[in-house]
Structure 1
Amino acid sequence: MKPNNKQFVLSVLLIFVINIFSINAQEIQQRRGVQVVSPEINGDNSVTFRLYSENAQSVAVSGSWMGFGQNLEMKKGDDGVWSAKTAVLEPSMYHYNLILDGVSILDPRNPKAMRDGTRYASTLIIPGEGSETFEVNDVPHGSINKVWYDSPSLDLTRRMYVYTPPGYEGSKEKYPVLYLLHGGGGDEDAWSSLGRANYILDNLIASGKAKPMIVVMTNGNPNQKAAITETQPIPSDNPLIIATAKFPTSLVNDVIPYVEDHYRVIANSSNRAIAGLSMGCLHTQIASLNNPEMFKYMGLFSLGLHPNDPNLEEIMKPLIAAYDANLETLKKNYKLFYIGCGTEDFVYEGVQNLRKKLDDNNFEYLYNETGGGHTWANWRTYLSDYAPRLFK
């Protein structure tokens, strides 16, 4: 049956409307930058960043592989796409922001992002040797549980993350425990989202380099119930000093008893380790020195002794007092005292002060000096080196 003229005209009109809509949709997609690829990892491990903006006056990239305050300027093409290409980057995980007319933004074409306290940034991983330890590889994976617990020492109900190794749920085995502490500005989310601690442990355990272990990632800010994305911090005049004074006590009196009551752990010092970065390194030293028979393994990432720094005087007082009072007792009980620091880290001098104090007291330690500064790239490296040495 042949269509009549009216049906024919309607069909032609419908096809015309569909074509016009399709063309307009493509134009809208292109104008919105859908065709832009960013970041693009090139074959030589350089990276190209792109951003579509017809009206921007300036666009730059600020990345963790750069020196402090340095930016990579982007250039605008005739199509309205700004772009810039980095030098060759070493395999690692990096974070970055785009600076659009002086305003720091996430890369709108990159779905991968991280939070470090109140700061957000886009992320990328350059594959290769150096990244394999923390990538999501085809190995058995452990679980991370977000656990709320009572903290009588702080008069709060608080949250921590607890990693259990592959096979934990289906076994009756008991495991050693690593207490892993974050730095200033971070919270209980930091070591999994930024440090990728769970993937590091998954990969180390799968390769037989590390023993299966439970990893407890706490919130070291005693004025917080949990990460700021979940709860409001309790107002505090100087949260860092309060953290120094209160959190190590809460760790020993509240966190460890809860873990040993609620998880299948080997509850003795030979199967109990502690490590932390920056502020968490301060907490690690205070907790282990004031309880010298509690931990056989201590990991110090990027913090030492800064006795002559007036900005750190109040923070250093309890740490120096702990060394003076308990270093000799600790010497009789520990198995591993691990120190890691980058040569460009602003705490480098303080770490050398710590090493001198330990040397003067004939205290043996393992020192891992790397390049770079006060960065997650280093802290992931230290954890990857520290964890295989535990519970041997």
Structure 2
Amino acid sequence: MTPRLLLLTLLMLPVWANAQPNFRSNTPNDTLVSPKLLPENRVQLRIYAPKASDVTVSGDFPSGFPNQKLTKEPTGVWSLVLGPLSPNVYTYDFTVDGVKTFDPKNPKFKESQNGISNIFELAGKDTDYLAVKNVPHGRVESVWYPSSSLGITRRMHVYTPPGYATLKEKLPVLYLLHGGGDNDASWTTVGKANFILDNLLAEGKIRPMVVVMPAGHVPGTALAMGAGPEQDPFAKDLLTDIIPFVEKNYSVSSQREHRALAGLSMGGIQTMNIALWNPEKFSYVLPLSTGYFPPVLSELEAKYAQVLKNPQINNWKLFWIAMGGDKDIAYQNNKNTMALFDKYGIKYRYTEVPGGHTYLAWRNNLYQFAPLLFQQ
């Protein structure tokens, strides 16, 4: 080696040394599995938090609210075994020393207005309708559109059925609204709407349709639970911006006979506020797990009796009201709302499914009502 080459080699040694990776000690987190499926439909949730003093988990699994405590193992891993559980898709959130914490070992999640929650799935006969199967699959797009009514650009998700690009006929549209706290991605992350529709299409049980899932929360406003569209700017956004955007950019029909509006909880209130005040724009109206609060019912009857008397409401092909059983937190409000509809002669169909005020019920609702749409 020449003196010059030796000098360059010596000068480069610190650089090589600094380029070496910083090796660390192995921890239990390296091989941790969460969630872990156990026999008899039990599920173990685990998180590595050696310095934590309190870890809990909440979710829509049985006894998941307000929370359950995890037990700390000597290794610093906290764990809890749930179940046995009925086959379904469940959401959960860890809280570590008072801070909501995502399970870093589980990449499956539900997106919502204020963050993300983890998801785990137990497959079974009762959830076959939402399983990912070897069938033709539609496409879910994240779409940005200008909202002139709100003065901002907003996001929505749009499902187009398999073969959409080659279809010659204009398709009907279902506008599918989420509930309070969720967002426009919720119906396809935890709601599994696209897989439910794919499976129904493969079985020949529904017509091909476009499904539009907008963001129901409007910046700077509270939950939309009042009477009438004037109390919720989203209503104007849907009618003046979203629907025209969809009809311009997608191969869909603009006829009322080919337009459906459905929504859960807050989205159910929005569904009723938009459809009752604009009955000529829709033919299928489907509020889920919802109902006006007593003061709002009084306001509705005192100020908007003429809205309830509009005969076009009874021209809808389907007014379908669903609840998640008597454990649904909106159960009494719904009963009161249906009593008001009865008083004004508004016709509707009513159904209950188990699941309370969660997607355990709402996924089932979509599976039940989708075959009823656009068949006539």
Q: TM-score, normalised by structure 1?
A: 0.81
- In structure 1, how many angstroms separate the alpha carbons of the residues matched to 2:353 and 2:303? 29
The verdict on how the C-alpha distance between 1:76 and 1:238 changes in structure 2, with shifts beyond 3 A counting, is: closer
Kindly indicate whether residue 246 of structure 2 is the aligned counterpart of residue 259 of structure 1: yes
| 3-state SS in 1 of match to 2:179 | coil
Alpha-carbon shift at residue 250 of structure 1 (Å)? 2.4
Equivalent residue, structure 1, for 2:291: 304
Match of 2:204 among 205, 208, 225: 208
Kindly indicate whether residue 333 of structure 2 is the aligned counterpart of residue 336 of structure 1: no
Equivalent residue, structure 2, for 1:228: none
Kindly indicate whether residue 344 of structure 2 is the aligned counterpart of residue 366 of structure 1: no
Equivalent residue, structure 2, for 1:44: 40
Kindly indicate whether residue 209 of structure 2 is the aligned counterpart of residue 222 of structure 1: no
| 3-state SS in 2 of match to 1:44 | helix
Alpha-carbon shift at residue 371 of structure 1 (Å)? 3.0
Q: Is the 8 Å Cα contact of residues 304 and 350 (structure 1) preserved in structure 2?
A: yes
Kindly indicate whether residue 29 of structure 2 is the aligned counterpart of residue 28 of structure 1: no
Alpha-carbon shift at residue 78 of structure 1 (Å)? 4.0
Equivalent residue, structure 1, for 2:5: none
Equivalent residue, structure 2, for 1:280: 267
Q: Matches of residues 1-392 of structure 1 in structure 2 within 5 Å? A: 28-29=25-26, 31-67=27-63, 69-223=65-219, 236=220, 238=222, 240=224, 244-308=231-295, 313=296, 317=299, 321=303, 324-342=306-324, 343-392=326-375
Residues 259-310 of structure 1 deviation map (CA, whole Å, 9 limit, x = unaligned): 22222112211111110111211111111111112111011011112233xx
Alpha-carbon shift at residue 76 of structure 1 (Å)? 3.1
| 3-state SS in 2 of match to 1:169 | helix
Q: Is the 8 Å Cα contact of residues 290 and 322 (structure 1) preserved in structure 2?
A: no
The verdict on how the C-alpha distance between 1:96 and 1:281 changes in structure 2, with shifts beyond 3 A counting, is: same
The AA in structure 2 aligned to 1:28 is S
- In structure 2, how many angstroms separate the alpha carbons of the residues matched to 1:248 and 1:143? 26
- In structure 1, how many angstroms separate the alpha carbons of the residues matched to 2:286 and 2:39? 37
- In structure 1, how many angstroms separate the alpha carbons of the residues matched to 2:303 and 2:215? 24
The verdict on how the C-alpha distance between 1:70 and 1:146 changes in structure 2, with shifts beyond 3 A counting, is: closer
- In structure 1, how many angstroms separate the alpha carbons of the residues matched to 2:237 and 2:73? 56
Q: Is the 8 Å Cα contact of residues 220 and 243 (structure 1) preserved in structure 2?
A: no
Structure 1 unaligned segments of length 5 or more: list them. Answer: 1-23, 224-235
Q: Is the 8 Å Cα contact of residues 92 and 117 (structure 2) preserved in structure 1?
A: yes
The AA in structure 1 aligned to 2:369 is Y
Identical-residue share of aligned pairs (%): 39
Residues 156-214 of structure 1 deviation map (CA, whole Å, 9 limit, x = unaligned): 33322221100001232221110111222222222222322111211111111211100
Residues 54-84 of structure 1 deviation map (CA, whole Å, 9 limit, x = unaligned): 4333333322214464433323334443322
Equivalent residue, structure 2, for 1:20: none
Alpha-carbon shift at residue 101 of structure 1 (Å)? 3.2
CA-atom RMSD in angstroms: 2.6
The verdict on how the C-alpha distance between 1:319 and 1:380 changes in structure 2, with shifts beyond 3 A counting, is: farther
The AA in structure 2 aligned to 1:336 is L
The AA in structure 2 aligned to 1:387 is A
Residues 229-270 of structure 1 deviation map (CA, whole Å, 9 limit, x = unaligned): xxxxxxx36464698432222212222122222221122111
| 3-state SS in 2 of match to 1:354 | helix
Q: TM-score, normalised by structure 2?
A: 0.84
The AA in structure 2 aligned to 1:216 is V
Q: Is the 8 Å Cα contact of residues 51 and 82 (structure 1) preserved in structure 2?
A: yes
| 3-state SS in 2 of match to 1:51 | strand
- In structure 2, how many angstroms separate the alpha carbons of the residues matched to 1:210 and 1:107? 37
Alpha-carbon shift at residue 98 of structure 1 (Å)? 2.4
The verdict on how the C-alpha distance between 1:238 and 1:79 changes in structure 2, with shifts beyond 3 A counting, is: closer
Alpha-carbon shift at residue 41 of structure 1 (Å)? 1.4
| 3-state SS in 1 of match to 2:125 | coil
- In structure 2, how many angstroms separate the alpha carbons of the residues matched to 1:202 and 1:356? 36
The verdict on how the C-alpha distance between 1:287 and 1:316 changes in structure 2, with shifts beyond 3 A counting, is: farther
